[in-house]
Amino acid sequence: MGYEFDKTKPIYLQLVERICWRIVRQELAAGEKLPSVREMAVQSGVNPNTVQRTYAELERMGVTETRRGQGTFVTTDTEHLANLRETLKTSHMMQFVKKMRAMGFTNSEILSGVQTALDSVVEEDGKEERYDV
């Protein structure tokens, strides 16, 4: 199977980002077990050492916790998960605003553009589109 990766960014960081997005989108719930290192390596098409580094980074961030002999689980600290969601939102919004300002757009033009985009992102069936990292 495998994912497509951006060659300009370390793969383990891209996996960290994908897992964080899945948590934020509630595809992975608090307390849910992540695939084993070997399973995730096969699913992602990467070396198990890369997945091990990914899981170590997620644990360092407080997003996951390792239970000896059981595996890696999404943290049950819902406050930390809420902070993760807010942090991701803020980070992506800041990147977007900086890029728009660098192109010369004013705040009102940015706000107008965001509103137009929000109005047009809904598919015909009324469900919002999902974007993968």
- Residue range 21-75, pLDDT digits in tens: 999 999 999 999 999 999 999 999 999 999 999 999 999 999 999 999 999 999 9
In terms of domains, do 19 and 54 share one? yes
pLDDT at 121: 80
Residue 22 tokens, joined: 């899945």
Q: Does one domain contain both 70 and 86?
A: no
Residue 123 has pLDDT above 70, yes or no: no
* Model confidence, pTM: 0.80
Question: 107: which 2 tokens?
Answer: 């705040």
Does residue 132 fall inside a structural domain? no
Domain assignment of residue 90, yes or no? yes
Sign of CA dihedral 113, 118, 124, 130: positive
Answer yes or no: is pLDDT of 122 > 80.
Answer: no
Secondary element (H or E) of residue 74: strand 71-74
Q: Is residue 27 assigned to a domain?
A: yes
Q: Please indicate, yes or no, whether residues 72 and 83 belong to a single structural domain of this protein.
A: no
Q: What pLDDT band is residue 94 in, cutting at 50, 70 and 90? A: very high
CB-based contacts of 121-126 (< 8 A; 24+ apart in sequence): none
User: Is residue 3 within 8 Å of 45, Cβ to Cβ?
Assistant: yes
pLDDT in the model for residue 125: 41
Question: Is residue 130, in this structure, part of any structural domain at all?
Answer: no
- Reply yes or no on whether the pLDDT at 96 is more than 70: yes
Shared-domain flag, residues 38 and 94 = no
Task: Say yes or no to pLDDT of 124 above 50.
Answer: no
61 and 110: one domain? Answer: no
| Same structural domain, 67 and 99 | no
Q: Which domain holds residue 65?
A: 11-76
The Cα 24–Cα 83 span in angstroms is 10
Same-domain status, 90 and 34: no
